Amino acid sequence: MKKLLVGNWKMNKNSHEVAEFFKTFNEHFSEKREAWIASQSIHFPIVEELKTSGVKAGLQNCSEHIDGAFTGEVSPRALKDMNGHFVILGHSERRQYFGETSRGLNAKVRTVMNEGLVAVYCVGETLSERENGQTLSIIEDQLHQGLNDQSKANIDNLIIAYEPVWAIGTGKTATPKEAQEVHAYIRSILQTKFPSFGDKTRILYGGSVKPDNIEELLAQKDIDGGLVGGASLKAKDFLALCGDK
């Protein structure tokens, strides 16, 4: 399976900058690796229209409901109807600033996968949790709570992103060895929870991934790709991550 790079644009770019990005990106993207882009929801239709067909578009969050009286929310069913492919769920910024919890995210993961979208479920420890030696137990809790009772029939639509909170947007990257250690642990939990899918489920690393550290990270056995914030905003950097210099 090809390595996958998911760009998380967060709340960045205006419509002209989105167009500029794809003008450069489309010209050089060779599909050597997979490239997905999670834009702000308001930009989704522009991304969908301008991206080359090899790129998949998605969002950074959505409702756990498919429709109804939920003012201001974005429906995963509406996203699917607009040709959306995936949703990032449980990003540490959503957990930190919007009070999302693994238990609450369980419902979002379920709805997203039921709607035929891919759920990119994020887990990761804070710096103090790492320093206290709690990394693996935090990851285990986040996985159990978020994935508890998910239908095995939908597990093809699950991707896990390991994002140590201390490495996001800080310029500090987990070493390939540190990242691999957690990825292997995540893999072992998935193998127990979903025996026939644990080996296949993609596990992405996120946290200050850059063109100069991507190759070493992707060389690790259980790292299937990257979830990328800052370095996904510039077409040239994201192309480099996708193996297209």
Residues that bind ligand PEP (CB under 6 A): 8, 91, 163, 168-169, 206-209, 227-231
Could you count the other beta carbons within 10 Å of the beta carbon of residue 242? 28
Q: Which residue is at the shortest CB distance from ligand PEP?
A: 229
**Set 91, 100, 115, 125: catalytic member:** 91
Minimum distance of ligand PEP from residue 229's CB (angstroms): 2
Residue number, 28 or 210, with CB nearest to ligand PEP: 210
Q: Tell me how far apart the alpha carbons of residues 46 and 163 are, in angstroms, rounded to a whole number.
A: 28
Minimum distance of ligand PEP from residue 116's CB (angstroms): 24
Q: Tell me how far apart the alpha carbons of residues 112 and 88 are, in angstroms, rounded to a whole number.
A: 10
Residue number, 154 or 213, with CB nearest to ligand PEP: 213
Helical H segments across the chain, by residue range: 15-28, 44-50, 76-81, 92-98, 102-114, 127-131, 135-147, 176-193, 214-218, 235-241
CA angle 133–225–157, rounded 5-degree value: 95
* 163 among known catalytic residues: yes
Minimum distance of ligand PEP from residue 129's CB (angstroms): 17
* 91 among known catalytic residues: yes
Tokens representing 241 are 């991550």
Minimum distance of ligand PEP from residue 226's CB (angstroms): 8
Long-range pairs for 62-66: beta carbons < 8 A, 24 or more residues apart? 62/87, 62/89, 62/108, 62/111, 62/112, 63/108, 63/111, 64/104, 64/107, 64/108, 64/110, 64/111, 65/111, 66/111, 66/115
Tokens representing 21 are 């990005």
Place of tokens 């489920």: 201
Minimum distance of ligand PEP from residue 237's CB (angstroms): 10
Residue number, 143 or 241, with CB nearest to ligand PEP: 241
**Residues designated catalytic:** 91, 163
